[in-house]
Amino acid sequence: MRYISIKYLQPCFTAFLVITMSGFTASAQQTIPLETADNVLVLQIDQTKRLNTLYLGAKLANTTDYALIGDARSSTADFTGMFRSAYTPAGSRNVLEPAISVTHADGNNSLDLQYVSHESKKLAADISLLSIRLKDPAYNFEVTLFYKSYYEENVIEQWCTITSGEKGTVTLQKFASANLNLQAKHYWLRQYHGDWAKEMRPDETELTHGIKTLDSKLGTRANLLMPSVFMISLDQPATEDAGQVLFGALEWSGNFRTDLEIDPQENLRVISGINNYASAYQLKPGETFETPAFVYTFSAKGKGPASRNLHNWARNYKLLDGKGTRLTLLNNWESTYFDFNESRLSGLLKDTHNLGVDLFLLDDGWFGNAYPRNSDHAGLGDWQENRRKLPNGIAEIAKTAQADGVKFGIWVEPEMVNPQSDLYHRHPDWVIKQPQRDEYYFRNQLVLDLSNAQVQDFVFHTVDSLFIKDPGLAYIKWDCNSVIYNAYSVKLGNLQSQFYVDYVRGLYNVLKRLRSKYPVVPMMLCSGGGGRVDYGALQYFTEYWPSDNTDPLERIFIQWEYSYFYPAIASANHVTDWGKQSLKYRVDAAMMGKLGFDIVVSKLSPVDLKFCQDAVAAYNGIKAVVWQGDQFRLANPDQGSVASMLYVKPDQTCAVMFNYLVNFRYGEGSHSPILLKGLDAAKRYRVKEINLYPGVKPVIDEQKSYSGDFLGKIGINPVVTNERSSVVLLINESNQ
Ligand code: DGJ
């Protein structure tokens, strides 16, 4: 059967012309394959017009074979007929976790979604957009599923729009972005949890029957305890180079929820979207709700290709200025905290220049007068320069920076307010708090109500005014330290259950507005460390702050896990005084991303300063490879005493290999060669140790040359030992 849609004049109505073609049997079902370079998602419309997922995995050689998948894979009976629904509606035949659940205008809780039509548009050589309209036969209510596919990157972004044509208000109880379906004998989930300074701690377990839910209910700083990124290996845990694995993440900077349920036929349903916790959303007649996108990639060759898929996609299409450049910097947070003034900052600007980095980043503490920001107890919300610390304003600092030949950037946390602030007293109705309950603080602060358009204006103007004061302002660090307690918006009145969703939409409105005025100014996404790292926000930000934990040994692990999902160019890594490792180890670890410093430069010994200056120069020589190269995880710090990470220039003429000791027990080190990946087997390479501490001799012989084949099969030993706990190797093509 084929269904051809005919549109009537009323926009929400679509009727079907069901054509029975000769030669079609009653069981013939239409398939919709969505292919990328290596993978395919096959959807199928069944005889009852329900849309199901037939297959998600490696592409088949013959497109015609997709229609055979259903018969080949059928197992026990599906008595509901919708275990594999491509977007499971609640309240009709479904008995599993739904993707969507609604209460119709008449109070009825049932939903059925039937296929109406679909279309596929080519948006660019690499990008297609498939949209599939579904409609409830009993109610004027429809859902359109969107699949934006990036062919070369093997990435799909999936979201939907939900439209009500009912006469009264419909309540959305659950409104997921995507409902995937995977088939394997076993499913292994790698998920993450954390806390301040403990970001991206992995757990990898086999899923059992029942529902496993990953979620956040924190509102802002939503990833503090758990980020939305995860991976699922099919049959057995995927390794870096082998096994089938799906990586997924919700592009949303607020509450999320991902349900993973093994169904009675042993398929895995993955339903991901905004968390519906306390978030029933009302749709008035004619209104449409658009969900954020869930992004995913699949690899049949392990985690390495899956992560490179996401890196390529992010750099090409999602991360702001993903193919651009970044600024190295000196930040003053850990060197001064709140204690600075104009003259101290002048010294730091000179240090910035002396170090050789591009920019000085002035952190927290520069604002507030009636309630000066001298600690984290006061001042948030009052974004005027503190007259004692900066009597001549930021314009003066910016001028001095210019005279010193460095750029200037500044920290803001514009979504927040301290009760000790003018703003709090002037606009109590802008503050998120329960009218009848005591205030409860996270870092002595409260969150402003971004669901309120006036607050959005305030946040926009807070940032805009900085650019007005200093038109050359070159960098913003946007912090967000508090979660939301006592969620309540004065503005929303009796629509409180829309608060969490409207907050994030409000935030995105502000960011969109800022980006239309300041399209490329680099901005760091920071949230008391890595409390807000997601692709919803990263389309407005050039980089993120992975963690306040800058102990380089910790960062090896933290950056490792982030690196599965986010490209190195987006990872802001600062050299600080955290940890017990050498300065070289700290600098090397920070080089695996976007390098910055947050140390007291003036207190460095001459030799340490020389090392840092040389390191900045060395970094300038390799940063393009780190930022735009293909990233290969060579030795996993969780599985041995050495961690090794490689970045290979796309034309395979150059690579940089970072190696670290992560177990400092006696005699630990790299006792055997590490196999390199991603090099051209036919090319020859020379290996040179870089970033050596002054006076230290290299151990690796620069005169030898190796073929890419040799480096891939036999490898090279970076000679990591307790005495050489951090080794960086530059691998350059050589013609001999
Ligand atoms: C939390 C951030 O993660 C730090 O880097 C620093 O900017 C402080 N906030 C400032 O309050």
State CA 204 to chain mean position distance. Answer: 19
CB-based pocket (< 6 A), ligand 1: 333, 363-364, 411, 479, 481, 526, 528-529, 545, 548
Residue 191's alpha-carbon distances to 94, 274, 451, 722, in angstroms, are 27, 17, 30, 32
Distance CA 480, CA 220 (A): 7
Residue-wise pLDDT for 284-310, tens only, equals 999 999 999 999 999 999 999 999 999
Higher-confidence residue: 424 or 2?
424
Ligand 1 pocket mutation, candidates 335, 411, 547, 549, criterion most atoms within 8 A of CB = 411
Which ligand 1 atom is the nearest neighbour of the CA of 411?
7
What's the first-to-final CA gap in the chain, in angstroms? 65
Which residue's CA is minimally distant from atom 2 of ligand 1?
528
Model's pTM, two decimal places? Answer: 0.95
Length of the chain: 736
Distance CA 561, CA 249 (A): 14
Which residue's CA is minimally distant from atom 6 of ligand 1?
333
Residue-wise pLDDT for 413-458, tens only, equals 999 999 999 999 999 999 999 999 999 999 999 999 999 999 999 9
Distance CA 487, CA 499 (A): 8
Which ligand 1 atom is the nearest neighbour of the CA of 526?
3
Cβ 178 vs Cβ 132: under 8 Å: no
Q: What spacing in Å lies between the alpha carbon of 331 and ligand 1's midpoint?
A: 11
Mean per-residue pLDDT of the chain: 95
Q: How confident is the model at residue 19 (pLDDT cuts 50, 70, 90)?
A: very low
The predicted pLDDT at position 28 comes to 57
Which ligand 1 atom is the nearest neighbour of the CA of 477?
7
Q: How confident is the model at residue 75 (pLDDT cuts 50, 70, 90)?
A: low
Residue-wise pLDDT for 330-343, tens only, equals 999 999 999 999 99
Q: Could you tell me which residues come within 8 angstroms of residue 79 by beta carbon, excluding any fewer than 6 positions away? A: none
Q: What spacing in Å lies between the alpha carbon of 529 and ligand 1's midpoint?
A: 7
Residues 403-410 have a mean pLDDT of 98
Q: What spacing in Å lies between the alpha carbon of 379 and ligand 1's midpoint?
A: 15
Which residue's CA is minimally distant from atom 1 of ligand 1?
528
Q: How confident is the model at residue 21 (pLDDT cuts 50, 70, 90)?
A: very low
The predicted pLDDT at position 191 comes to 98
Ligand 1 pocket mutation, candidates 333, 362, 523, 525, criterion most atoms within 8 A of CB = 333
Q: Could you tell me which residues come within 8 angstroms of residue 243 by beta carbon, excluding any fewer than 6 positions away? A: 233, 234, 235, 236, 237, 300, 301, 302, 303
Q: In the structure encoding, which two tokens stand for residue 235, read together?
A: 């049959």
Cβ 569 vs Cβ 261: under 8 Å: no
Residues 83-100 have a mean pLDDT of 97
Give the number of C-alpha atoms closer than 13 A to the C-alpha of residue 309, restricted to the C-beta side.
29
Q: pLDDT at residue 162 above 60?
A: yes
Residue-wise pLDDT for 457-477, tens only, equals 999 999 999 999 999 999 999
CA angle, residues 425, 196, 579, in degrees to nearest 5:
125
Distance CA 372, CA 315 (A): 40
**φ, ψ at 388 (rounded to 5°):** -75, -45
Distance CA 492, CA 278 (A): 14
Q: pLDDT at residue 83 above 80?
A: yes
Which residue's CA is minimally distant from atom 9 of ligand 1?
528
DSSP string, 181-250: EEE-S-EEEEEEE--TT---EEEEEE--SEEEEEE---SSSTTSS--S-EEEEESS---SSSBEEEEEEE
The predicted pLDDT at position 338 comes to 98
Q: In the structure encoding, which two tokens stand for residue 670, read together?
A: 């790299």
Q: What percent of the chain has pLDDT over 70?
A: 96
Residue-wise pLDDT for 609-644, tens only, equals 999 999 999 999 999 999 999 999 999 999 999 999
Q: What is the DSSP letter of 569?
A: G
Residue-wise pLDDT for 234-273, tens only, equals 999 999 999 999 999 999 999 999 999 999 999 999 999 9
Q: pLDDT at residue 655 above 90?
A: yes
Ligand 1 pocket mutation, candidates 548, 574, 578, criterion most atoms within 8 A of CB = 548
